[in-house]
Structure 1
Amino acid sequence: MTNTSTMGISRRAILGVFAATAVTAAPTFSSAAGFLRGAGDVRRVQMYSGRTGEKMDTIYWIDGEYVGEAVREISMFMRDWRNGKAVAMDTRTIDIIAATHNLLDVSEPYMLLSGYRSPETNAMLRAHSSGVARNSLHMRGQAADLHLDSRSVNQIARAALACQAGGVGRYSSSSFVHMDCGDVRTWGS
């Protein structure tokens, strides 16, 4: 993570102050953004990629505003690892990911299996699997496939569904959950 300075105060210093005062709220809201509003106005995402070896732990929302640099960092982290292409990830998806993690009450970071997918990668995956949508929300930066060692696919999916904020797919045989900011819907087992 880079340490850039804005208005004479480093981002790291600001994030340190807010992280030290963050309070985790009980899950009482029905949407991802609503749930996160109760989290002390600090939103955080923790992930690692087994494909690239990268790790990320960043606060991307402070006091009612997205932190542009952190959202860009998340978008780059969630790039198509096969060809390095990236798009701006939809902040609604990032909010769903963070809210689900909070609901699960874990300190373990997510393992990211797939974030953004270029059209080329999506076409290649589609040719090898019937479970890949032709117009996948992954290609718009609006979806992620995630895994946690400490939680089952059903536990993760139930937490994501509690957000009432997008699509949730269970892929039990592959041990991951798909989360997106599209229509509220569910599939898989």
Structure 2
Amino acid sequence: MIRRARLLTVLGTLLAGAIGVIGSTQTWITVILADGAGEELVVAGAAAVPVLTPLSLATLALGAALSITGLVLRYVFGVLSIAIGAILGVLSAQVAVAPPVSAVAATVTSATGIGGADAVADLVASTTSTPWPALTAIAQVVLIAAGLFTLITARRWRGSADRRYQAAAATAGAEGSRPHDAIDSWDDLSRGDDPTAEEQHR
């Protein structure tokens, strides 16, 4: 059960990161300018939420590292996942419900050369959000859930490092319990020891 929970946590984190990265390249908002011609502009996710790409890439890194980290880092990564999910979730939900002027300002300024929040707001006649902001917000809910689940179950995870240690210990134990063979006797002779001395004392 814990192994399955860990897998779901890692997959949920990777999924949220992947949706964020893909969404950053997609159209989030369509803007109609009030310039008489009704010029239409499209705003990508990375422009609407500038932190979307770096935080989504960080989420992917967290998901990849989560499967091999020790106990302390599991808690750290769980907290980071919750924080990233909360930040991107709030920003994405704002765009999905009612895009703020700040989400389209960079694109409008780039197209018109006019800057400033008030000036940009005067230029924008209407904005329409695509499904991408809502999808990204949902993905961040999944990320928050994955982070919380990491904090709850992290102590019961068995890491790959633990498995390697157990395998090494088992191998060492097996080697220590095997009979004294010809190779061991040759090693004893090379060190100046008499391999038959132990046998004579028995």
Q: Is this a same-fold pair by TM over 0.5?
A: no
- Structure with higher Rg: it is 2
Q: Which has the higher helix share?
A: 2
TM-score (norm 1): 0.27
Q: Which has the higher strand share?
A: 1
TM-score (norm 2): 0.25
